[in-house]
Amino acid sequence: QVQLVESGGGLVQPGGSLRLSCAASGATLKWYGVGWFRQVPGKEREGVSCVDEGDGRTYYTDSVKGRFTISRDIGKNTVYLQMNNLEPEDAAVYSCAISSVGCKWETRSRSVGTWNKFFGSWGQGTQVTVSS
């Protein structure tokens, strides 16, 4: 059984920062693409970022480039998402998930509403609120 647990969410002012963690058990994240996703009620799930297996190549959706950084700690079997200069539009439930064939981000990001078909072992998510 593969289990992913997200943590690190909270309430911040616009311009603030949070660091999210995705901790895995039952699988070694080194061998998977690991993605961060976010969802607001009534909206489709959005792919935010992904770190690939092997060389650790990273990917970001355009709206977070320059503000968010994904990283991988092999020893701790944990993937992080550092979020800086948060905006109200970033508020959502953030979840992580894995892909056994890597991120394939550039292709999958064009398939709207299908992230759950490509990634699995979804965590239950952590709430990020950005409010004045």
Structure tokens at 41: 């009620």
pLDDT above 90: percentage of residues in the chain: 91
The CA distances from residue 101 to 54, 70, 82, in Å, are 11, 19, 24
pLDDT for 111: 84
Share of the chain above pLDDT 70, in %: 100
Residue 72 pLDDT class (50, 70, 90 cuts) = very high
Would the pLDDT of 113 be above 90? Answer: no
pLDDT digits (tens, 9 = 90+) for 35-65: 999 999 999 999 999 999 988 999 999 999 9
